[in-house]
Amino acid sequence: MQPAMMMFSSKYWARRGLSLDSAMFDHQQLRHTGGQMVRKLVQSCGGTTGTEDREGGEDSGKTAVVFSLKNEVGCLVKALRLFQEKRVNLNHIESRKSKRVPNEVEIFADCSCSKKEFNELLEHLKDHVNILSFNTPAHIWSAEAEEVPWFPMKISELDQCSHRVLMYGSELDADHPGFKDNVYRQRRKYFVEVAMNYKFGQPIPHIDYTPEEIKTWGVVFRELTQLYPTHACREYLKNWPLLTKHCGYREDNIPQLEDVSRFLRERSGFTVRPVAGYLSPRDFLAGLAYRVFNCTQYVRHSTDPLYTPEPDTCHELLGHVPLLADPKFAQFSQEIGLASLGASDEDVQKLATCYFFTIEFGLCKQDGQLRAYGAGLLSSIGELRHALSDQACVKMFDPKTTCHQECLITTFQEVYFVSESFEEAKEKMREFAKTIKRPFSVYYNPYTQSVDLLKDTHGIENVVQDLRSDLTTVCDALGKMNTYMGI
């Protein structure tokens, strides 16, 4: 069984201003030894000079140039006029006496412009001044940056991802158990409407499930719960009683996504949202980056309750939710999602395959025994038994090789991958994520539920500030333990 993303088998991106002492240049790094702010002059040319704008616009500090000129009245005015003529905005400027030539000054200019505008500026500037160095960061003008696929920068933008459905839940193939059932098909259309009308921040609509749907759920629930004690990992079993207590997990009741989402938020920071059908791997994984799991709400057809060719609410609620409540598993899931943001189609497919063989069909070792943690296994009676039997081919999880394994949808997997723990799988995925080519790194900001792009030293400074605050708290706690407990 596949997740709510379409898998394809092998046969199927506010920077602050730079300064003279912080800019890195192609030929050399100039060290700031002091200087004056050329304030009024720059402002008259449409730029800014002080630290008041270093926190400024998104494009601040993208390009910079250092040039020298004679320390004479009017020379700087002439040079800066070229910036205005070429429509190059000045974000920040500094000056200092030149150590090279006694009667010259060196000017640092931090600007915002396109590649074409900057090149034209340099061509004209070199006729009037001596250009010492310039900086054109690769992540701004590289071909890779121009080709970075769109991805959500904040959690509310997931509406765009969740509504880009590749295959609606109401579109059934001819071999689907409910293909000829018009009542079932109409019911599926209702679930599509609910999901497509949902927007971030809204409560998830309550679903009044029919007696037939509840009966189908009950059959799946009863069969699987008999296997969980001997087949499911301990993290799954730990959360099961909590789901029974707080979300109404019972044989005669299908839990509501709103209750489940509230429960998950308190346990691991994850939430769920309804989805109308299959999403692309990129859109599905983007949700994980924000700790959002796209869930279907429809129930498989009653004529074959132990089989479904697509992820239904039985798969989501019984397979995924119990482990999404585990903090370590939640972090593992999120890191796969974060690694996908802005990645190439090829890399996203590799990540999706690793997701498939871990979060969907993964095995782990506990107390010397194989246990299942993959949702595709934990929601499939037949494959759960098979994966832990002697007939199954089991290999150690290694993203570098796993990412090339074919994902099978309608049959049992040819191979299953085992990890010693979620931590081990997470560390391996972290190393694998380093091989993904992106002109930036990403950092999830849990306070704003947005993604920060780490593409310069200032962005990294913000992350370091957060880490420093956390370390201060840890040091304070250790100090108190030492004082009051003698540790």
Q: Known binder of ligand: residue 409?
A: yes
Domain range 155-442, CATH class: mainly alpha
Q: 39-141 has which CATH code?
A: 3.30.70.260
Catalytic: 360? yes
- 302 is known as an active-site residue: no
User: Is 308 annotated to bind ligand?
Assistant: yes
Domain ranges of the chain: 39-141, 155-442
Query: Token pair of 264, please?
Result: 């998950």
Which whole-number Å values give the CA distances from 313 to 239, 255, 270, 443, in the listed order?
18, 9, 17, 31
pLDDT of residue 397 exceeding 70, the answer is yes
Amino acid 44: pLDDT: 39
**Is 176 labelled as part of a ligand binding site?**
no
Using the predicted structure, report yes or no on whether residue 468 has a pLDDT greater than 90.
Answer: no
Average pLDDT over residues 3-12: 44
Q: Is 117 a catalytic residue?
A: no
- Give every CB contact of residue 24 below 8 A, 6+ residues apart in sequence: 135
pLDDT band at 241, cuts 50/70/90? Answer: very high
Residue 100 has pLDDT above 70, yes or no: no
pLDDT by residue (tens digit) across 89-98? 888 888 888 7
Strand pairing category for 130-135 and 63-70: antiparallel
Q: Is 58 among the annotated ligand-binding positions?
A: no
Q: Which of 92, 176, 231, 315 is catalytic?
A: 315
296 is in an annotated binding site: no
Which one is catalytic: 104, 235, 316, 360?
360
- Label residue 59 by pLDDT band (50, 70, 90): very low
> What pLDDT does residue 286 have?
98
pLDDT for 229: 98
When the pLDDT of each residue in the chain is averaged and rounded to a whole number, the result is: 83
Is 360 marked as a binding-site residue? yes
Asked if residues 249 and 325 have their Cβ atoms less than 8 Å apart, the reply is: no
Q: Point out the catalytic residue in the list 176, 231, 320, 458.
A: 320
Does residue 208 have a pLDDT over 90?
yes
User: d(Cα 309, Cα 376) in Å, to the nearest integer?
Assistant: 11
Q: Which of 280, 379, 380, 419 is the catalytic position?
A: 379
Grade residue 469 by pLDDT with cuts at 50, 70 and 90. Answer: confident
With 0-12 / 13-18 / 19 or more C-beta atoms within 10 angstroms meaning exposed / middle / buried, residue 206 is exposed
Q: Is 32 a catalytic residue?
A: no
Please give the pLDDT value at position 309.
83
